[in-house]
Amino acid sequence: MQVRDLLEVPELGLRLLTDRRGLERSIRHVYTTDLPDPSRYVTRGDLVLTGLLWCRGPADADLFVGALARCGAVALGAGEAIGAVPGYIVEACGKRGVALLAVPAETSFGAVTDEVSRRLAGDMARVLGRRRLLLSAVAQGAGLEPMLRVVGRETGLRCWLLSATGRLVTGTGEPLPRPVALRLAAEYLAAARLPAVSGGRHSLFGVGGEPRITSWFLACDGQERDWSPELRETVSELAADVAIERARLAAALSGERKLAEAVITRLVADGAEQAETASLMRAAELAPDGPYLAVAIRADAGSAGPGAWDRAGTSPSGWDGWGRDLAEELIVPYAGRAAVAPSGETIFGLVAAGRDNAAEALAGWLREADAVFQAAGVRLTVGLSGPAAGVAGLAGALREAASALRIAAVRPATVSVATSDEVDSHELLLASVPSTVLRSFRDRLLGPLADYDERHHAELLPTLRSFLACDGSWNSCAARLYVHVNTVRYRIGRIEELTGRDLSSLADRVDFFLALRCQ
């Protein structure tokens, strides 16, 4: 029950002495005390009743009410048997946001306690009723949407089920815009504990699964701490039942997963008969004549944050296990039909390419989730092929995606996506060079400039980068850097002096350009 419910019981005659803040808070227990400092005994959600025998002045009021606020009491019921409630108690409660109720002399604390106990018993009965409805829905295999609908109908609560990558699974309210879903996912992944509160507007409940980046969660209206115990219990039960239903759905897909793995294994091996591959694709409900995009995905959890793995801080064993779950969450909702399977440290996928500029659109879809992966402490690299029509072109498309993946891997972004259009660029050349060689090349050429910048704050490296981006134009570079053209000339001269290179030479410009791309 809520604090406001007590004020609506005419037989008690309670009066609100503070403003209306906190009336929506839920009462979990009643505790009666006249101790000057009750902090050892007050718990979160308490309605504290007191006869004010401890109160001699404002200092006592500050001590008593401060203890209630720190311990999470939702309201103070002050008895008027020995006189009206002093103004300094009203002031102390108002300052700390504790609702203050005056209990008239003719109302016993026992009557208040009995009313709260009766209401809480009724709340628990409703929880059990809702639990029976949810269990019935689970037993009948009703699915996720009816389960959420039961809770929405019984409680009036708007609730959405999302994946940790920001995919909206279902909900009882209006569909969430994708930016909102991605923000909620990032906050869920970054939360040190669950349930968590997002921006004061949603409470986030985990729905099983480790690592957390592959799990689902519930986003419900309001702050969980202000809910009644019955509502909190109902949503917790919903989360548990959704986890069961999710596991059932995953088990039902095991056959499709095996077919997808067989298709991709054959294509990666690039030695299978096309007729056999086409037959497997039809069995997996994938049209052999396409067109498809090939996708290559890797994830690095080395910088895992608080929401990436389990509470013990350990990472899952094997990228094959959770990597496929992650890849499916990322690309299947976008594509509708897709085959996803592991091959070594890479997850490969075939995605139906049923739209123009499909690779660019999928790349944009993945990049939108950058904040999600930052929150999870997971770096995602993705390579995309161009469209491939028919079984004959799929093996080549997978090789093309793998080449694009090597380009994506050398970029520093949290979500790095490269398409087949970039496979013929210098980045593929850099991706094929061992990292130790790249570091050595970069340090020999740019090391003197970095050292000089560190000592003198001369901005040589930013100037070099801008100079090359402006195709060696002094004036354009000066305008880009908001400095005088003579400043650019001085800095370029210093760069040439420190490196022994000539920036009027095309060969030296190419070397500088590649060295900067190695960073």
> Is the pLDDT at 36 greater than 70, yes or no?
yes
Task: Report the percentage of the chain scoring pLDDT > 70.
Answer: 86
Chosen domain end from 62, 77, 107: 107
Strand duo 159-163 + 202-207: pairing: unpaired
* Phi/psi of residue 124, nearest 5 degrees: -65, -35
Lowest mean pLDDT among 144-148, 174-178, 219-223, 362-366: 144-148
> Is the pLDDT at 322 greater than 80, yes or no?
no
Do 52 and 170 sit in the same domain of this protein?
no
Do 399 and 309 sit in the same domain of this protein?
yes
CATH number for the domain harbouring residue 463: 1.10.10.2840
The mean pLDDT value for 118-147 works out to: 57
Q: What is the per-residue pLDDT for 432?
A: 54
> Is the pLDDT at 63 greater than 80, yes or no?
yes
Residue 25 lies in a domain: yes
Do 33 and 90 sit in the same domain of this protein?
yes
Do 474 and 453 sit in the same domain of this protein?
yes
Q: What is the per-residue pLDDT for 309?
A: 40
> Is the pLDDT at 442 greater than 50, yes or no?
yes
CATH number for the domain harbouring residue 384: 3.30.70.270
The tens digit of pLDDT for each residue in 387-430 reads 887 788 888 888 888 888 888 887 888 888 888 776 655 655 56
> Is the pLDDT at 182 greater than 50, yes or no?
yes
- What is the total count of domains within the chain? 4
Chosen domain end from 233, 252, 271: 252
Q: What is the per-residue pLDDT for 317?
A: 37
The mean pLDDT value for 184-198 works out to: 88
Residue 258 lies in a domain: no
The mean pLDDT value for 497-504 works out to: 91
> Is the pLDDT at 56 greater than 50, yes or no?
yes
CATH number for the domain harbouring residue 57: 3.40.1390.20
Q: What is the per-residue pLDDT for 510?
A: 87
H or E segment and range at residue 230: helix 229-252
Q: What is the per-residue pLDDT for 126?
A: 54
Domain region containing 236: 117-252
Residue 268 lies in a domain: no
Residue 333 preceded by cis peptide, ω within 30:
no
Do 127 and 180 sit in the same domain of this protein?
yes
Q: What is the per-residue pLDDT for 310?
A: 40
Single out the residue of 185, 427, 388 nearest to residue 295, CA to CA. 388
> Is the pLDDT at 128 greater than 50, yes or no?
no
Do 345 and 388 sit in the same domain of this protein?
yes
Do 158 and 230 sit in the same domain of this protein?
yes
Residue 486 lies in a domain: yes
Work out the pLDDT band at 159, boundaries 50, 70, 90: confident
What DSSP letter does each residue of 160-186 carry, written as one string? Answer: EEEETTS-EEEESSSPPPHHHHHHHHH
CATH number for the domain harbouring residue 204: 3.30.450.40
Q: What is the per-residue pLDDT for 308?
A: 44
Do 30 and 81 sit in the same domain of this protein?
yes
Do 418 and 487 sit in the same domain of this protein?
no
Residue 276 lies in a domain: no
* Phi/psi of residue 113, nearest 5 degrees: -65, -40
Do 342 and 303 sit in the same domain of this protein?
yes
The mean pLDDT value for 90-110 works out to: 91
Q: What is the per-residue pLDDT for 89?
A: 93
The mean pLDDT value for 493-502 works out to: 92
Who has greater pLDDT, 426 or 239?
A: 239
Q: How is residue 497 written in tokens?
A: 């002096």
Residue 262 lies in a domain: no
Lowest mean pLDDT among 157-166, 241-250, 490-499: 241-250
**3-class DSSP assignment, residue 448:** helix
Q: Does the pTM of the predicted model rise above 0.85?
A: no
Who has greater pLDDT, 288 or 463?
A: 463
Residue 488 lies in a domain: yes
The tens digit of pLDDT for each residue in 507-516 reads 888 888 888 8
Q: What is the per-residue pLDDT for 307?
A: 44
Mean pLDDT over the full length of the chain: 81
> Is the pLDDT at 76 greater than 90, yes or no?
yes
Q: What is the per-residue pLDDT for 48?
A: 93
Chosen domain end from 53, 72, 107: 107
Residue 211 lies in a domain: yes
Q: What is the DSSP letter of 393?
A: G
What DSSP letter does each residue of 94-150 carry, written as one string? Answer: HHHT-EEEEE-TTS-HHHHHHHHHHHHHHHHHHHHHHHHHHHHHHHTT--HHHHHHH
Do 484 and 512 sit in the same domain of this protein?
yes
Work out the pLDDT band at 321, boundaries 50, 70, 90: low
Do 90 and 181 sit in the same domain of this protein?
no
